[in-house]
């Protein structure tokens, strides 16, 4: 029996129409046709080809074009509108939507929305649906003005519409009324990641159920992360089924694709995961996890936390690697943030100062942005914690004030609560410090940084046992945890009398960083290696001659006096000055 079910696929659709075509034809039919055919031959056809598009049909003065990627469609529209002399003005609409395929033609609401958007565009302009805008934002040197929700003719639900602004020198008024420059918009650009449904290998119903469960819990977990934008597997299933994972990722504007597989045998599960760069197809990170099926829900939570948190830092490292050869003078604004974060995680005085310069540049361009201001405040927190000379006398007051302002505008940012916890402990408000750390973990229970924040808050609050649980959990959850966080786990070990274990942990950290030396001194004294502690203390003073216990918040911000005195006694024994 013949299957008459229509073929459907997800596509980026561009609809274009000549402005005032009937009037121009009435005034000069032959000239208008000649100009349009010339524009088609010299601009439209080569531009569409250069951006891997397909002209579906021509309708007198109108064109319908299909692309595999929204970014390609928008780039084509920009070239299209910039390619003429103004004698044949076009309006263009772009939509990402479901289309019906019949022979070589396309039909359906995905096409209809694009056509209605084209009618809303200004002469020479481009309008996008919200679905298309989500895939294009941050990936082009262009701005988008939010025009609000519009009721389009013969379209059941209102569509939010965005106008493309391509002049890089122009600032536009957003729907909130504030002026946003193109430079500011690019100060932070999180990568887009497509999560594909986990595959089950073999015919086991348990594997099928586990694969489905992992996909759902991982999608929910990744939605908590502020560092990247997630394309949910449910919204991409049709594109994945039609094009495969990598092609679907490219078409949807994803920079990375996260995929996984599940095998089950003898009450054991083997879960494979890999993160792939969409453009090149190269594997960025992969791992294999073997787990018992005794508690499936615990297994799902365990694997979800590991994949979500590790993937976040793996992406960050990949971004840093991608710009490693670029001099600072050639970096784009969002790349200044990437390099600044790389330097910040090294947690030494010289790199901290260099990181601040990158964050200051981003903040000047985007004074209301979350991450530039947040990361700038982190540089001051590191100075306060490690006893380095302060870049500003009011570093603590300034940072707390900045974070309170950010918190009003971004109340669900775990990263703000995470840093606020640290700063309030520096101020001596340990109860609020712990509360903010708990809130950070509540906002993103899968992020190793939030686990570490709560571990640190508990440690400085006089609860080393509870601190150790959180800190060790963070390291077991994320194989990419920055080296600097080993210091806090070593400090928990110091208070618990596990100094030899702490020294083994620190042996893999950067030995040249003065803050690492501080924690080595503590644990060397705790392990009764006093002579070696004295040598390490002298190296610390050589690197940081202005060091004193009085100015080091790592020592002075502990809640309990006995904890502060225990730290000071060990450091004095090694020869460090008050």
Task: List, in order of start, the domains of the chain with CATH numbers.
Answer: 7-185 (3.30.70.1230), 192-322 (3.40.50.10610), 482-578 (1.25.40)
Q: Which of 443, 446, 444, 501 is nearest to 478 (CA)?
A: 446
For the stretch 416-427, pLDDT in tens is: 999 999 999 999
Among 30-34, 282-286, 299-303, 415-419, the range scoring the smallest mean pLDDT is: 30-34
* 355 vs 341: CA distance, rounded Å: 7
Q: Is the separation of the CB atoms in 85 and 127 below 8 Å?
A: no
Given this model, what pLDDT does residue 319 score?
87
Tell which wins on pLDDT, 141 or 311: 311
Q: What is the mean pLDDT of residues 540-544?
A: 87
Local confidence band at 103 (pLDDT 50, 70, 90 cut-offs)? confident
Task: Return phi, psi of residue 478, to 5°.
Answer: -135, 115
Given this model, what pLDDT does residue 573 score?
95
Taking 60 as the threshold, does the pLDDT of residue 294 lie above it?
A: yes
Taking 50 as the threshold, does the pLDDT of residue 368 lie above it?
A: yes
Taking 50 as the threshold, does the pLDDT of residue 440 lie above it?
A: yes
Taking 60 as the threshold, does the pLDDT of residue 513 lie above it?
A: no
For the stretch 51-98, pLDDT in tens is: 999 999 988 789 999 998 999 999 999 999 988 777 788 999 999 988
Given this model, what pLDDT does residue 250 score?
80
3-state helix/strand/coil string of 192-247? EEEECCCEECCCCHHHHHHHHHHHHHHHHHHCCCCCCEEECHHHHHHHHHHHCHHH
Mean pLDDT (the chain) is: 86
- Own/partner pairs for 485-493, CB < 8 Å, 24+ apart? 485/452, 487/347, 487/515, 487/516, 487/519, 488/452, 488/455, 488/456, 488/459, 489/455, 490/519, 490/522, 490/523, 491/459, 491/519, 491/522, 491/554, 492/455, 492/459, 492/464, 492/467, 492/468, 493/468, 493/523
Taking 90 as the threshold, does the pLDDT of residue 533 lie above it?
A: yes
Taking 50 as the threshold, does the pLDDT of residue 156 lie above it?
A: yes
Tell which wins on pLDDT, 281 or 512: 281
Local confidence band at 48 (pLDDT 50, 70, 90 cut-offs)? very high
Given this model, what pLDDT does residue 511 score?
43
Q: Is the separation of the CB atoms in 110 and 15 below 8 Å?
A: no
Tell which wins on pLDDT, 252 or 311: 311
CA angle 148, 152, 156 (to 5 degrees): 105
Q: Is the separation of the CB atoms in 183 and 219 below 8 Å?
A: no
Among 227-236, 419-428, 481-490, 495-504, the range scoring the smallest mean pLDDT is: 227-236
Local confidence band at 545 (pLDDT 50, 70, 90 cut-offs)? confident
Given this model, what pLDDT does residue 166 score?
58
Taking 70 as the threshold, does the pLDDT of residue 531 lie above it?
A: yes
Taking 60 as the threshold, does the pLDDT of residue 558 lie above it?
A: yes
Residues of the chain above pLDDT 90, percent: 46
Local confidence band at 177 (pLDDT 50, 70, 90 cut-offs)? very low
Beta pairing class for 199-200 and 192-195: unpaired
Given this model, what pLDDT does residue 343 score?
92
* 444 vs 314: CA distance, rounded Å: 18
User: Considering the entire predicted model, what is its pTM?
Assistant: 0.68
Taking 80 as the threshold, does the pLDDT of residue 216 lie above it?
A: yes
Q: Is the separation of the CB atoms in 114 and 160 below 8 Å?
A: no
Given this model, what pLDDT does residue 510 score?
52
For the stretch 184-209, pLDDT in tens is: 344 566 788 889 999 998 888 888 99
Given this model, what pLDDT does residue 104 score?
81
Q: Which residues pair with 55 in a beta bridge?
A: 65
Among 31-35, 398-402, 405-409, the range scoring the smallest mean pLDDT is: 31-35
Residues of the chain above pLDDT 70, percent: 93
* 46 vs 65: CA distance, rounded Å: 13
């Amino acid at each position: 029996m013949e299957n008459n079910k229509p073929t459907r696929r997800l596509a980026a659709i561009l609809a274009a129409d000549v402005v005032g075509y009937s009037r121009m034809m009435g005034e000069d039919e032959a000239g208008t046709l000649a100009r349009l055919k010339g524009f088609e031959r010299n601009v439209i056809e080569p531009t569409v080809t250069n951006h891997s598009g397909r002209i579906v049909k021509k309708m007198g003065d109108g064109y319908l074009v299909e692309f595999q990627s929204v970014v390609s469609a928008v780039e084509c529209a920009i070239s299209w509108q910039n390619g003429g002399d103004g004698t044949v003005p076009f309006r263009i609409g772009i939509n990402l939507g479901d289309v019906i395929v019949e022979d070589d033609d396309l039909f359906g609401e995905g096409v209809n929305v694009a056509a209605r958007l084209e009618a809303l565009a200004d002469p020479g302009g481009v309008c996008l649906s919200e679905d298309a805008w989500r895939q294009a934002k941050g990936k082009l040197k262009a701005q988008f003005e939010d025009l609000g929700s519009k009721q389009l003719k013969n379209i059941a639900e209102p569509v939010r519409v965005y106008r493309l602004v391509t002049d890089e020198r122009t600032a536009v008024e957003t729907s909130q009324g504030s002026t946003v420059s193109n430079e500011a918009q690019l100060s932070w650009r999180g990568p887009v990641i497509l999560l594909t449904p986990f595959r089950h290998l073999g015919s086991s119903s348990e594997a099928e159920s586990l694969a489905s469960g992992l996909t759902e819990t991982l999608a929910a977990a990744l939605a908590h992360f502020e560092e990247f934008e997630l394309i949910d597997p449910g919204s991409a299933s049709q594109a994945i089924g039609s094009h495969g994972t990598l092609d679907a990722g490219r078409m949807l504007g994803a920079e990375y694709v996260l995929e996984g597989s599940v095998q089950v045998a003898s009450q054991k599960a083997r879960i494979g995961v890999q993160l792939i760069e969409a453009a090149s197809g190269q594997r960025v990170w992969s791992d294999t996890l073997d787990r018992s099926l005794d508690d499936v829900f615990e297994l799902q939570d365990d694997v979800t936390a590991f994949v979500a948190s590790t993937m976040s830092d793996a992406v960050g490292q990949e971004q840093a690697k991608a710009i490693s050869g670029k001099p600072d003078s050639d970096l784009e604004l969002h790349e200044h943030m990437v390099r600044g974060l790389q330097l910040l995680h090294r947690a030494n005085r010289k790199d901290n100062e260099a990181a601040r310069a990158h964050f200051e540049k981003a903040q000047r361009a985007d004074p209301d942005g979350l991450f530039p201001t947040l990361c700038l405040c982190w540089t001051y927190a590191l100075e306060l914690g490690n006893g380095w000379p302060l870049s500003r006398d009011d570093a603590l007051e300034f940072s707390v004030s900045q974070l309170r302002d950010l918190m009003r505008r971004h109340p669900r940012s775990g990263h703000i609560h995470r840093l606020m916890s640290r700063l309030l402990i520096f101020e001596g408000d340990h109860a609020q410090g712990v509360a903010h750390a708990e809130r950070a973990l509540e906002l993103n229970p899968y992020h190793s940084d939030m686990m570490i924040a709560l571990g640190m808050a508990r440690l400085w609050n006089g609860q080393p046992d509870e601190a150790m649980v959180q800190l060790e959990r963070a390291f077991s959850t994320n194989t990419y945890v920055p080296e600097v966080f080993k210091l806090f786990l070593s400090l928990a070990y110091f208070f618990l009398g596990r100094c030899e274990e702490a020294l083994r942990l620190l042996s893999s950290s950067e030995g040249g960083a003065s803050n690492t030396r501080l924690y080595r001194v503590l644990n060397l004294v705790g392990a009764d290696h006093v002579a070696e502690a004295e040598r390490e203390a002298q190296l610390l003073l050589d690197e940081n001659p202005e060091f004193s216990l009085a100015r080091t918040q790592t020592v002075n911000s502990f809640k309990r006096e006995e904890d502060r005195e225990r730290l000071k006694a060990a450091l004095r024994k090694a020869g460090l000055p008050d």
